[in-house]
């Protein structure tokens, strides 16, 4: 976890950077042939920054997230998480993950699933109960604490997975279309909650979505990717109110619609309205 206090000179960059990708590529090889999923990805996500990844289906968004999460390894380039290898960051429990499939353990209750990471890392019974109660409230599932996953709808299961990803207050959240299965009202509520959680925990987030309004509402920067091999085609800074002031009013604000238009144009192949092409515009 990075701290706001000044780190010793020379360590500043490392502490302030959650994810750094330099020339990251991924080629999948199988008997069916080779698929180049990612090529030359340069991306820096600062500590506490919210970055949304958007792009056509198959452009490598999930693959990039899986590389950061150490669920797979790049075939080229360099990738660090808080200055460490993805493996070391995973071992240090620097991040929480919530992917599109909820991935809950069917034999554990909702509460049991949320408490799992805490249990694995030796948090005592009292601490676990307090934290899971807090998270159950957050995702609106307090009444379902003792239910099993198969007794929940898809959207409810997804909310359990989100609560679980937050259990350890990670300094980096990796989220792959986590709200895809939610109804529109729940989705907006979860977005607002996520903004609040990030503000409070100062977690950095890499968030994959297919929804332009969702990307714009949540992110400090929207990274637009192009089809295979997946490359970053534009990085659109979202200059809305600071996340701290982002509330539901923003969804009806002219600056919000302007940012939505900029991302849409970037997705459709660039436009004069968008600033520097390529990568890492900071």
Ligand X SMILES: Nc1ncnc2c1ncn2[C@@H]1O[C@H](COP(=O)(O)OP(=O)(O)OP(=O)(O)O)[C@@H](O)[C@H]1O
Residues that bind Mg ion (CB under 5 A): 62
Q: Which residue, 115 or 176, has its beta carbon nearer to ligand X?
A: 176
Q: Which residue is nearest to Mg ion (CB)?
A: 62
Angle at 125 between CA 123 and CA 131, to 5 degrees: 70
Q: Of ligand X, Mg ion, none, which one sits near residue 113, judging by CB under 5 to 8 A according to partner kind? A: none
Shortest distance, CB of residue 206 to ligand X, whole angstroms? 13
Q: Give dist(CA 27, CA 259) in Å, integer.
A: 33
CB-based contacts of 46-49 (< 8 A; 24+ apart in sequence): 46/16, 46/17, 46/18, 46/204, 47/2, 47/15, 47/16, 47/17, 47/18, 47/82, 47/171, 47/202, 47/204, 48/2, 48/18, 48/198, 48/202, 48/203, 48/204, 49/18, 49/204, 49/205, 49/220, 49/221
Tell me whether residue 31 or residue 57 sits nearer to Mg ion (CB atom). Answer: 57
**Binding partner at 63 among Mg ion, ligand X, none, C-beta below 5 to 8 Å by kind:** ligand X
Q: Does the bond joining 229 to the residue before it have cis omega, within 30 degrees of 0? A: yes
**Residue with smaller CB distance to ligand X, 35 or 123:** 35
User: Which entry of ligand X, Mg ion, none binds 31, CB below 5 to 8 A by partner kind?
Assistant: none
Q: How far is CA 56 from the centre of its chain?
A: 17
**CB 136 → ligand X: shortest distance, Å?**
29
Q: Which does 221 bind (CB under 5 to 8 A by kind): ligand X, Mg ion, none?
A: none
CB of 272 to Mg ion, least distance (A): 30
CA-closest candidate to residue 115, choices 107, 106, 103, 127: 127
Residue 93 to residue 170: CA distance in whole angstroms: 7
Task: Closer to Mg ion by CB, 48 or 60: give it.
Answer: 60
Cβ proximity to ligand X, 19 vs 114, nearer residue: 19
> Considering beta carbons, is residue 15 or 102 the nearer one to ligand X?
102
198 binds, among ligand X, Mg ion, none (CB under 5 to 8 A by kind): none
Name which of ligand X, Mg ion, none residue 58 binds, using a CB cut-off of 5 to 8 Å depending on partner kind.
Answer: ligand X
- Residues binding ligand X (CB under 6 A): 28, 30, 35, 37, 57-63, 228
């Amino acid at each position: 976890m990075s701290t706001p206090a000044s780190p010793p000179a020379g360590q500043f960059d490392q502490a302030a950077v959650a994810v750094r990708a330099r020339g990251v590529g991924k080629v999948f090889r199988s008997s069916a042939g080779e698929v180049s999923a990612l090529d030359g990805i340069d991306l820096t996500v600062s500590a506490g920054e919210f970055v949304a990844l958007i792009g056509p289906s198959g452009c490598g968004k999930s693959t990039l997230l899986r590389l950061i999460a150490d669920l797979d390894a790049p075939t080229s380039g360099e990738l660090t998480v808080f200055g460490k290898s993805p493996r070391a960051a995973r071992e240090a429990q620097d991040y929480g993950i919530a992917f599109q499939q909820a991935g809950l353990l069917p034999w554990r209750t909702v509460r049991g699933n949320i408490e799992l990471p805490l249990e694995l890392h030796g948090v005592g019974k009292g601490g676990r109960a307090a934290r899971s109660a807090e998270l159950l409230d957050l995702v609106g599932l307090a009444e379902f604490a003792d239910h099993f996953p198969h007794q929940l709808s898809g959207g409810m299961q997804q909310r359990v997975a989100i609560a679980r990803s937050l259990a350890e207050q990670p300094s980096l959240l990796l989220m792959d279309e986590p709200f895809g299965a939610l109804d529109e009202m729940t989705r907006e509520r979860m977005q607002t909650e996520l903004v609040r959680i990030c503000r409070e925990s100062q977690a950095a987030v890499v968030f994959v979505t297919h929804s332009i309004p969702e990307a714009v509402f949540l992110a400090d920067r929207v990274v637009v990717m192009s089809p295979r091999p997946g490359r970053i085609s534009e990085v659109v800074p979202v200059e809305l109110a600071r996340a701290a002031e982002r509330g539901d009013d923003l969804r009806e604000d002219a600056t919000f619609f302007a940012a939505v238009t900029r991302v849409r144009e970037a997705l459709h192949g660039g436009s004069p309205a968008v600033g520097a092409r390529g990568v890492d515009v900071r």
